[in-house]
Amino acid sequence: MSAGFALRMAWRQTRGAWRHFVGFGACVALGVAALVAVGTLAVNLDGALTREARTLLGGDVELRAARPLGAEAAAALERLRRAGARTTALRELVGMARSPAGRTLPVEVKAVDPAYPLYGRVQTRPAAPLAGLLAPRDGADGAVVEPGLLDRLGLRPGDRLALGAATLAITGVLVREPDRPASLVSLGPRVLVSAETLARTGLVQPGSRVRYRALVRLPEGRAAHAAGEDLARAVADPGVRVTTFDAAQPGLRRFFGQLATYLGLVGLASLLVGGIGIAASVTTLVRRQLATVAVLKVLGADGRTVLATYLLQTQALGVLASLAGAALGAAAQPLLVRALAPLAPVALEARLDAWTLVRGVALGALTALLCALLPLLAVRAVPPSLVLRRDVEAAGWRARRPWLAALPVAAGLAALAVWQAGSPGLGAIFVGAALAALGLLALCARGLAALGRRAPRVRGVALRQGLAGLARPGGHAARVVTALGLAVMLLVAVAQLEAALARQVALEQNRSAPSFFFVDVQGDQLPALRRLLAAASGGTAPAATPVVRARLAALDGVPVTRELIARRRAEGLDRMWYLTREYVLTWAAEPPASNVVTRGRWWTAAEAAARPRVSLEEAAARGLGVGVGGTLTFDVQGVPVTAEVASLRRVDWQSLSPNFFAILSPGALDGAPATWVVTARVPAAAEAGLQDRVSAAFPNVTALPVREVLERAAALLAQVAFAVRWMAAFSVATGLVVVAGALAATRWERLYESVILRTLGATRGTVARAFAVEYACLGAAAGAGGTLLAAALAGIVLRLVLELPWTLEPATLALGVVAPTGVALAVGFLATFRLLGEKPLPVLRRE
């Protein structure tokens, strides 16, 4: 083999036929751009979360509990202070803000002390020290509020605002809160007040839902991890969670990690579509180069030299296109950052990451190599005797497909997919799904070709010719249907998921979902609230459920301690959350309507009267590792309540009624400090008025408007969907490149055919109609196959990931077939309309 010759030939061949490689390059570049864009985003997100970890947590270490931190914690914090640490105490809860005009709004209240914040800076308008803004003035307590509150209540800085029993003066607007808790959906705008102000509101009552936090900023050089362990040892109560900054926000990290992974898979899909384009483009190249290959062999080039020539050529172009793609992905970064900025809890940068760029280029170059290899191997088998035939290209020579070589190539592509997906499991799912999708789409293409071969039975020249065109040699039908079909699958699946989620939100609104959850209702307020609500909702009785807050003290008699949790973790159990979380308990004589008892049975009145029993939700029972017959001991405000597990329940969490992990038998919680959750349904138009009236009459009661919370969740989903669609756009663009390439590859046959038809007396209109029939069939097949796959994909995601029912979305599905048909017609005509104007004689002479 002559390496120098291969290199020179590769350069000369490219120099002369660069047009042929535009499609090839675009396929590689778009795939790499998608991967680099999403990879860079993931790195930036992770970097920002790591960099801002202290600020997001608000300190190096955090203590967090659902009840006031006890003496042990206070002593431990005092020791840290003596060692040079700074600490601050926070309380967070949801309350109702009321404007002087009587308009109300649920708000997320945060009470801070003067040491806050320990890290970062609270930005306000006007810019002033926070302590000053929160100080009392003119008989009211200072408060800093988010702009959303002003908009919603029609207030301006300087106006008054009622919160519980306190009157607040709005002294500033909150621009940026460094440790804004990163729950993705908030229940209302933030209101910052001082600890004294919170006391004056009267919102902190037994049983009300308050989060108590203590933050620690360690002196320079002191390790957060060690301090965290010391605190955990000092505070025995496992209900007090100790978190160090580097382990903070696991939910947030998981959310963005998963988002990046899913976006990465969508990016990988565009490289997959690109791979089809690469293989198609190289197949066409080999067909066009048959004469050159044969001549080179006649002149004495061996098979390996010829293969090396074309491999060098495609590989060099693959690397160049990958570099261009990486540049495109980097350039697209600011756009993607802007798309995701509303979701992100931290400011995102569009900083480039060297490893991501290198990986993107490597993935692109390797994909180009593997996808090009299979069709290129054919050049070794091209017989030199082709030069003796009159028309080399029409000689009908076809390489035997190197199926044996296909295996390592497929394995290589699968390995690349696993590499990009980041885990073998996810990679395997992607590869499996891709194989299934490609298989089905290839089947669609075959069906189309079969239809084409039967075409002569159809009447009408244009229709017959168009259908016959589907069976055209060169395999353009397979290329168009697979590439376009994959793009359709992605877009339609996203649209279907969106529609299903939107329908879910709407469905809950339409059925018997309540308009409001009124929480923290005290027992003595219940009769009056019931009357008010009954009148408002037109006589239907509102539902009231008692709730008692408690923590789990013992499991089957074994105290829940930090040691138990550590032991369980060592045994490989996760979901420690079930051991440490605060439980909202209730009691009931009958099982709730939307619950199904799956193990054991519900208690009789006699059983309930005998001793306390509890019914557990299935997943919670699994997480705790208890079954029917076991016992749970709850610590209810210091009083232990031990109950036997009588049954397990399956809970429909989608039903918007109050749902509970643990329901106790009637009488078990007698004497415990209970508050009530009251649900009510009123017409949409009456919602605002009712909320205002309830808040005016019961300032401590928080009204959670279901519609708004659902709308906020829907807005979050819309943003995620936007990001996914943004990524899917790369696949669509790649798909269009492949379609245009596949149709351009059949240009000569098409030209010849159209000229023959016109020589026989067909008008240009007839020829155009024949083309249209062919393009429309290709688009419709891609649309139908892609939409079918999308329905399956959406069904799987809904069922297995989101645990929602799959519903038929006829409009989305119909659009999934119609739109690709239109796209195929448009791209087809753009790629071939010039053929219609060619004069027949020169074409026939050339032939």
Question: CA 29 to CA 675: how far, in whole Å?
Answer: 61
State in angstroms the smallest separation of the CB of 32 from another protein: 27
DSSP character at residue 371: H
Positive or negative: CA dihedral 549, 551, 556, 557: negative
- CB burial readout 331-357, b (16+ within 10 A) else e: ebbeebbebbeebbbbebebeebeebb
Query: What are the tokens at 425?
Result: 């499991």
- Residue 584, strand partner residues: 549
- Measuring CA to CA, which residue among 31, 15, 18, 10 is closest to residue 738? 31
Binding mask 301-330 for another protein (x = CB under 8 A): xxxxx-------------------------
Of positions 126, 139, 300, 424, contacts another protein by CB under 8 A: 300
Query: Residue 208: CA atoms inside 13 Å, Cβ hemisphere, count?
Result: 21
Interface stretch with another protein, choices 339-347, 387-395, 750-758, 760-768 (CB under 8 A): 387-395
State in angstroms the smallest separation of the CB of 812 from another protein: 48
Question: CA 501 to CA 158: how far, in whole Å?
Answer: 41
Element housing 162 (H / E): strand 160-163
State in angstroms the smallest separation of the CB of 18 from another protein: 10
Query: What are the tokens at 655?
Result: 């039903």
- Measuring CA to CA, which residue among 408, 414, 439 is closest to residue 428? 414
Question: CA 220 to CA 442: how far, in whole Å?
Answer: 63
Interface stretch with another protein, choices 131-139, 288-296, 460-468, 657-665 (CB under 8 A): 288-296
Instruction: Give the nearer residue to another protein in terms of CB position, either 298 or 814.
Output: 298
The DSSP code sequence of 8-41 is: HHHHHHHHH-TTHHHHHHHHHHHHHHHHHHHHHH
Question: CA 204 to CA 95: how far, in whole Å?
Answer: 10
Of positions 297, 549, 613, 649, contacts another protein by CB under 8 A: 297
Residues of span 2-21 touching another protein by CB under 8 A: 2, 4-5, 8-9, 12-13, 15-17
State in angstroms the smallest separation of the CB of 318 from another protein: 19
State in angstroms the smallest separation of the CB of 421 from another protein: 40
Binding mask 17-46 for another protein (x = CB under 8 A): x-----------------------------
Query: What are the tokens at 694?
Result: 């309830």
C-alpha distances (whole Å) from 774 to each of 413, 678, 779, 824 are 32, 63, 9, 9
Backbone angles phi, psi at 129, to 5 degrees: -60, 140
With a CB cutoff of 8 Å and minimum separation 6, the contacts of 693 are 532, 536
Instruction: Give the nearer residue to another protein in terms of CB position, either 13 or 322.
Output: 13
Of positions 139, 158, 220, 299, contacts another protein by CB under 8 A: 299
State in angstroms the smallest separation of the CB of 380 from another protein: 8
State in angstroms the smallest separation of the CB of 381 from another protein: 9
CB 146 within 8 A of CB 189: yes
Instruction: Give the nearer residue to another protein in terms of CB position, either 15 or 82.
Output: 15
CB 135 within 8 A of CB 142: yes
State in angstroms the smallest separation of the CB of 254 from another protein: 54
* Pure H helices in 289-380: 290-298, 303-340, 354-376
State in angstroms the smallest separation of the CB of 2 from another protein: 6
Question: CA 690 to CA 540: how far, in whole Å?
Answer: 15
Of positions 136, 157, 384, 422, contacts another protein by CB under 8 A: 384
Pairing of strands 631-636, 543-555: antiparallel
Of positions 120, 148, 383, 591, contacts another protein by CB under 8 A: 383
| Under rule CB under 8 A, residue 402 binds another protein | no
Instruction: Give the nearer residue to another protein in terms of CB position, either 148 or 303.
Output: 303
Instruction: Give the nearer residue to another protein in terms of CB position, either 248 or 290.
Output: 290
State in angstroms the smallest separation of the CB of 767 from another protein: 28
Of positions 165, 223, 331, 388, contacts another protein by CB under 8 A: 388
Binding mask 237-276 for another protein (x = CB under 8 A): ----------------------------------------
Q: Which amino acid is at 802?
A: L
Backbone angles phi, psi at 777, to 5 degrees: -65, -45
Instruction: Give the nearer residue to another protein in terms of CB position, either 271 or 306.
Output: 306
Of positions 135, 184, 199, 291, contacts another protein by CB under 8 A: 291
Specify the residue for token string 């970062």. 120
Interface stretch with another protein, choices 300-308, 354-362, 498-506, 556-564 (CB under 8 A): 300-308
Neighbours of 606 (CB within 10 A): 7
Of positions 236, 387, 433, 499, contacts another protein by CB under 8 A: 387
State in angstroms the smallest separation of the CB of 315 from another protein: 18
CB 367 within 8 A of CB 31: yes
Instruction: Give the nearer residue to another protein in terms of CB position, either 297 or 613.
Output: 297
Instruction: Give the nearer residue to another protein in terms of CB position, either 15 or 457.
Output: 15
Question: CA 286 to CA 303: how far, in whole Å?
Answer: 14
DSSP character at residue 137: B
State in angstroms the smallest separation of the CB of 378 from another protein: 14
Interface stretch with another protein, choices 219-227, 298-306, 348-356, 808-816 (CB under 8 A): 298-306
Site size for another protein (CB under 8 A): 30
Question: CA 130 to CA 195: how far, in whole Å?
Answer: 13
With a CB cutoff of 8 Å and minimum separation 6, the contacts of 135 are 142, 194
Of positions 173, 187, 295, 756, contacts another protein by CB under 8 A: 295
Instruction: Give the nearer residue to another protein in terms of CB position, either 305 or 631.
Output: 305
Interface stretch with another protein, choices 382-390, 434-442, 482-490, 705-713 (CB under 8 A): 382-390
Residues that bind another protein (CB under 8 A): 2, 4-5, 8-9, 12-13, 15-17, 291-292, 294-305, 383-385, 387-388, 390
